[in-house]
Amino acid sequence: MAYRGVIQRFEVVFEPEEGGGYHVYCPALKGCHSFGRTKEEAREKIAEAIELWLESAAELNLPIPEREIVEVGSK
């Protein structure tokens, strides 16, 4: 069965860990962090963390922060 919910896009940041693996977080969602041994695993885990964050926010009637992309150029 196809997913029929709303698709949202969130920027995530991958930070390589010294001991291996990746710390990954979503800057728009305060406290939304995860970790994976590989970048793919980290991507899967942060997607799950974002879904849980959004579910919790909905249950608690918390607003989802407004997001916007700002483009900058260099000289």
pLDDT, tens digit, for every residue of 38-63? 999 999 999 999 999 999 999 999 99
> What does pLDDT average to over the chain?
91
Name the pLDDT band for 33 (thresholds 50, 70, 90).
Answer: very high
Is residue 71 included in any domain, yes or no? no
Is residue 66 included in any domain, yes or no? no
The boundaries of the domain holding residue 34 are 13-59
Is residue 75 included in any domain, yes or no? no
Cα–Cα distance for residue pair 75/60, rounded to 1 Å: 45
Q: What is the pTM of this model?
A: 0.83
Name the pLDDT band for 1 (thresholds 50, 70, 90).
Answer: very low
Domain tally for the chain? 1
Phi, psi of 15 (to 5 degrees): -120, 115
Is residue 23 included in any domain, yes or no? yes
Amino acid at 50: I
Is residue 68 included in any domain, yes or no? no
Is residue 21 included in any domain, yes or no? yes
| pLDDT score at 5 | 72
Is residue 70 included in any domain, yes or no? no
